[in-house]
Amino acid sequence: MKRIAFLACMGAMLISSVSAQWWLSSLSLDTMVSPSPVTYDPYLGNDTIGPQFTFTVRLSKKPRTTVNFCAVIDGSLSPSSRLLTSSSNSLTVNFYQDSNYTKEIKSSADYTSSTIVSGSFPAFTTTLTKTYTVYPRLDKGQSAPWGTYTGNFTVKLYDYSLPNSSYLEDTASFTYTAIVAQTVEVRVGPSSGSFDIGVNLYNLDLGEISKGASASFGIFVKGTTGYTLTMNVASGGYLTSDTTNDKIQYSLTIDGKSYSLGPVVTIDVQTARALYSKVLLGTITIPPEQNVEAGQYSDTISFSVTAN
């Protein structure tokens, strides 16, 4: 009889243990869709934002008690990494909880109570999903040459109010991509100027040339990759007039180097994939005492740049 009573108690204990589990709810993350690539301009004067994306926390069934949870975003290189990489180059992206970009979402390695996504499901709620929007931002002025920059990230969900590895419930991964376009541009303008105030057509006034004349100008190159800068002088280096057949010969130096003037003269070549923001100083000089008729003489010098 004692043995039978003992087995009965054991059976009751087993039944009680199983029945205590059926009502518990579990947390999970829905599969994430990676956002579309964003275009990043390293010369832009403003931060680059978006595109936004979401992640969804799901509860398996109606809870009998309040379920608190939190989420963070870990990087692929290390938990706190926010790097997007392209070969040996990188861009930094940060993720925020709000459209004002004041509440950052950090990682399990460097979180504070204000840099995690916190939430809860009240007891007996019938709403079993919560969706959160993530607002990415890439700060302006990062030194990122042409390329496609990618980073892999993981949302980590904890069945607890703070990240704790003992309470990790689920993970969901996404890829964030930024594209830096392959661009090179050239402008001309005052010798004291810059690319931003340069123009596509710049008039250089040499003034009275009877005693010779000289004037300087700037050539401004900007690009996200290597380039070849060429110059074209169809006249061969002569000023001409619509009212006379005379010609005035002139010479040109760029950064102190003299050039023979003609078609497709190479001025500068860069081959590395890097950011370029370059200024070259050009100087036009006319020899004095040229015996020509009075009039207005002019010529056109054109510059072009192509990506390497």
CATH code of residue 256: 2.60.40.1090
Domain shared by 175 and 246, yes or no: no
Number of independent structural domains in the chain? 2
* Residue numbers of the domain that contains 121: 25-180
Domain shared by 123 and 236, yes or no: no
Answer whether residue 12 is part of any domain: no
> What is the CATH number for 171?
2.60.40.2310
- pLDDT tens digits for the chain (308 residues)? 445 444 444 444 444 444 445 457 899 999 999 999 999 999 999 999 989 999 999 999 999 999 999 999 999 999 999 999 999 999 999 999 999 999 999 999 999 999 999 999 999 999 999 999 999 999 999 999 999 999 999 999 999 999 999 999 999 999 999 999 999 999 999 999 999 999 999 999 988 877 778 999 999 999 999 999 999 999 999 999 989 999 999 999 999 999 999 999 999 999 999 999 999 999 999 988 778 888 899 999 999 999 99
Query: What pTM was computed for the model?
Result: 0.84
Q: Cβ–Cβ contacts within 10 Å for residue 280, how many?
A: 19
Domain shared by 212 and 278, yes or no: yes
DSSP secondary structure letter of residue 102 = -
Cα–chain center distance at 211: 53
Task: Identify the domain boundary among 146, 180, 214.
Answer: 180
Domain shared by 284 and 191, yes or no: yes
Domain shared by 34 and 167, yes or no: yes
What is residue 4's predicted lDDT score, i.e. its pLDDT? 46
Region label for 267, one of left (φ > 0), alpha (ψ between -120 and 50) or beta (otherwise): alpha
For residue 145, cis peptide bond before it (omega within 30 degrees of 0): no
Domain shared by 50 and 170, yes or no: yes
Domain shared by 171 and 201, yes or no: no
Task: Identify the domain boundary among 120, 154, 180.
Answer: 180
What is residue 7's predicted lDDT score, i.e. its pLDDT? 45
Domain shared by 244 and 172, yes or no: no
Token couple for 53: 């994306």
Domain shared by 31 and 150, yes or no: yes
The whole-angstrom separation of Cα 55 and Cα 176 is 14
Answer whether residue 4 is part of any domain: no
Answer whether residue 263 is part of any domain: yes
Q: 113: Cβ–Cβ under 8 A, 6 or more apart, which residues?
A: 162
Domain shared by 88 and 203, yes or no: no
Domain shared by 194 and 287, yes or no: yes
Answer whether residue 6 is part of any domain: no
- Mapping DSSP onto H, E and C, the string for 75-95 reads ECCCCCCCEEEECCEEEECEE
Answer whether residue 76 is part of any domain: yes
